[in-house]
Amino acid sequence: MSQPQSTSPVLELRNISKRYGGALALTDVEFDLLPGEVHGLVGENGAGKSTMMKLLAGVFDDYTGELILRGEPVRFASPADAQAQGIGMVYQELSTFQHLTVAENLFSRQPPTKGGILQWRQMNREAQSLLQELGLDIDVTSRMGELSVGSQQLVEIARVIFSGATIIILDEPTSALSTPETRRLFEFIARLKAQGKTLIFISHFLEDVLEVTDRITVLKNSHKVATLPTSQADKHTLVELMIGSDAKILQQMYEAEESVASHVSHETGKPMLTVTNLSQGSAFANVDFTLHAGEILGIFGFMGAGQIQLARCLFGAEQPSSGSLALDAAPLKLANTSAARNVGIAYVPENRRDSLMLTQEIFKNITLAHLGKLAPGLLRQRREVEIAQTQIAAVGVRPPRPMLNAGALSGGNQQKVVLAKWLTQQPKVLILNEPTRGMDVGAKDEVLSIVQDLRTQGVAILLITTEPETIVQIANRSLVMRRGQITAELTGAELTKENLMRNA
């Protein structure tokens, strides 16, 4: 199958730049994709992976530079256009029809009809032979929702191929898969490669990238840093390329501040929250840790590592399947969120959508969590507004107007309101999910300094985030989660961005 033209790239990006508002999401990116290869794309959150993926999928066309497909310069007008030209996307959040059969999903765009009547038998027959061709043993008459996530993903890839794609982009394909499912996917990818398909494999999981790809391109801060053959790469070099000199600067910052800053003082208080052997279905298993008063304990992991479910179990919003909790040395059973609130656990959700009533006044949002204690008897608006004003001043919400609707605030200020809500009564344990996601630097610093103040006051703080910088900046120590397991506990000099990422 060695063809002379196989050396010329099937797809090239030349000098591509893309701006979102003021910020560059891609800067002068050069990229080439050889026919029949599996090309890995790695980089931190915000490095430009998803922008590049959207570019190739035709989601936007306001970029500068050139996209060359099979030797011809092209500009995709729409995702449908990109698809028509043979580029297929398989997103992390699968867009399958759960209640339809596998065959219906495969033919969802162009089901075979005769005179407007759906030809079921023909559809099932063709679908089955298509899957067989791709070496997949899946019953096409079963409903999509009955399949495992891994099988659904394989069907989705098959659908993309069926609709004519020869270049297939896989976005974080392994993040939701178990180990055997990952194996199955890799076998499938190898088979596709043998059939001459070209794949782009975007992933946070460096081992997976190292195992399945032929070449790897590393993005960092909107730039392409390198493209290298996988045979010459290992996890260490990739991580270094991904975070580059940042790591050294952070390392230096950390070393310089060591005597004053966070990591050092291990003179934290008594054990406040003890988690013993906690598991929940397929989300996470055998989690063990102790959170002390006056400590910020980080939990780092990529999206879908089980950290959110863990946090929800610690607040009674979900139930663990086994294991136990103890608060302040007393056993703790959380039937619901009210129980958690009542024993002094505070919870900041990972997205702002779940944390505030945007159409209600700020003061009502602030007094909500501890309304019972703040307003014995009947509600008096003046008293509530006073309380809110104190809280607003304490956390620095701007503009400081309690009668405004919470939806009128910026993201950073909304997050301050969420904190203010939980600080009307001093919590024992504060669980923070992604407390600074999507904020500008100023707001981020303000939120983190509030969190640090709370540590000084002796609150036990669990900081769950996908942003390693945040943990390095303020946590005393950190756990790393990967696919529902705690893979490392880092403290002191080991608590670096590099180590966090390497264990995730």
Partner 1 sequence: MLTGSKKETITMSETLTATQSETRGDLANWLRQRARDLAPFLTLMVLLIFFSVTTDSFLRLVNLRNILAQVSTLAVVSTGITFVLLCGEIDLSIAAVATMTGVVAAALFGEGLRISESLYIGGGWEFAGGLFAVLVGGVFAAALGLLNGWSTTRIGLPSFMATLAVMQIATGLGQYFTKGQIVYTLAPMLSFLGGEYIGEAEPFRLPVVILVGASALIIGHFVLTYTKFGRYVYMTGSNREAARLSGINTQRIVAACLTISAFSAGVAGMLNTGRLGSAQGYGLEDMLLDSISAVVLGGTSLFGGEGGVKNTLVGLLIFGVLSNGLNQLQLDIYVRLWVRGIILLIALIINIYALRLRDRGAQ
Q: Pattern of binders to partner 1 over 379-418, x per CB under 8 A?
A: x-------------x--x-xxxx---x-xx----------
State the nearest-atom distance from the C-beta of 18 to partner 1, in Å: 26
Residue 189's alpha-carbon distances to 57, 132, 149, 271, in angstroms, are 20, 15, 16, 48
Neighbouring C-beta atoms of residue 72, cutoff 10 Å: 8
Residue 18's alpha-carbon distances to 10, 296, 321, in angstroms, are 22, 37, 46
Q: For the chain, report the end-to-end CA distance as a whole number of angstroms.
A: 39
Q: Which residues of 307-334 are buried (b: 16+ CB within 10 A; e: fewer)?
A: bbbbbbbbbbbbebeebebebbeeebeb
State the nearest-atom distance from the C-beta of 269 to partner 1, in Å: 24
Residue from 74, 261, 303, 358 binding partner 1 (CB under 8 A): 358
Q: Are 61 and 22 in contact (CB under 8 A)?
A: no
Q: Report residue 274: phi and psi, to 5°.
A: -115, 125
Among the listed ranges 111-119, 131-139, 355-363, 461-469, the one in contact with partner 1 (CB under 8 A) is 355-363
State the nearest-atom distance from the C-beta of 399 to partner 1, in Å: 5
Residue from 31, 205, 254, 347 binding partner 1 (CB under 8 A): 347
Nearer to partner 1, 40 or 349 (CB): 349
Nearer to partner 1, 10 or 308 (CB): 308
Q: Pattern of binders to partner 1 over 261-300, x per CB under 8 A?
A: ----------------------------------------
Nearer to partner 1, 389 or 487 (CB): 389
Nearer to partner 1, 393 or 493 (CB): 393
Instruction: Tell me how far apart the alpha carbons of residues 377 and 380 are, in angstroms, rounded to a whole number.
Output: 9
Nearest alpha-carbon partner for 52 in 37, 67, 38: 67
Residue whose token pair is 């996307």:
89
The separation between CA 5 and the C-alpha centre of its own chain, rounded to angstroms, equals 39
- Total of chain residues touching partner 1, rule CB under 8 A: 36
Three-state SS annotation for 27-66: EEEEEEECCCCEEEEECCCCCCHHHHHHHHCCCCCCEEEE
State the nearest-atom distance from the C-beta of 354 to partner 1, in Å: 5
Residue from 73, 145, 196, 372 binding partner 1 (CB under 8 A): 372
Residue from 317, 326, 394, 488 binding partner 1 (CB under 8 A): 317
State the nearest-atom distance from the C-beta of 22 to partner 1, in Å: 21
Nearest alpha-carbon partner for 363 in 347, 346, 375: 375
Q: Are 477 and 490 in contact (CB under 8 A)?
A: yes
Nearer to partner 1, 219 or 369 (CB): 369
Nearer to partner 1, 184 or 312 (CB): 312
Residue from 7, 231, 359, 456 binding partner 1 (CB under 8 A): 359
Residue from 197, 364, 482, 483 binding partner 1 (CB under 8 A): 364
Residue whose token pair is 């979900």:
318
Among the listed ranges 7-15, 62-70, 264-272, 342-350, the one in contact with partner 1 (CB under 8 A) is 342-350
Nearest alpha-carbon partner for 295 in 496, 487, 430: 430
State the nearest-atom distance from the C-beta of 273 to partner 1, in Å: 16
Instruction: Tell me how far apart the alpha carbons of residues 157 and 145 are, in angstroms, rounded to a whole number.
Output: 16
Q: Which amino acid is at 483?
A: R
Q: Pattern of binders to partner 1 over 183-222, x per CB under 8 A?
A: ----------------------------------------
State the nearest-atom distance from the C-beta of 423 to partner 1, in Å: 13
Residue from 355, 470, 473, 503 binding partner 1 (CB under 8 A): 355
Q: Is 369 in the site for partner 1 (CB under 8 A)?
A: yes
Among the listed ranges 172-180, 191-199, 210-218, 353-361, the one in contact with partner 1 (CB under 8 A) is 353-361
Nearer to partner 1, 25 or 346 (CB): 346
The separation between CA 392 and the C-alpha centre of its own chain, rounded to angstroms, equals 30
10 Å CB burial of residue 51 (0-12, 13-18, 19+) is buried
Among the listed ranges 36-44, 99-107, 375-383, 483-491, the one in contact with partner 1 (CB under 8 A) is 375-383
Contacts for 3 with CB less than 8 Å, ≥ 6 apart? none
Nearer to partner 1, 265 or 381 (CB): 381
Residues that bind partner 1 (CB under 8 A): 315, 317, 336-338, 340-342, 347, 349, 353-360, 364, 368-369, 371-372, 375, 378-379, 393, 396, 398-401, 405, 407-408, 421
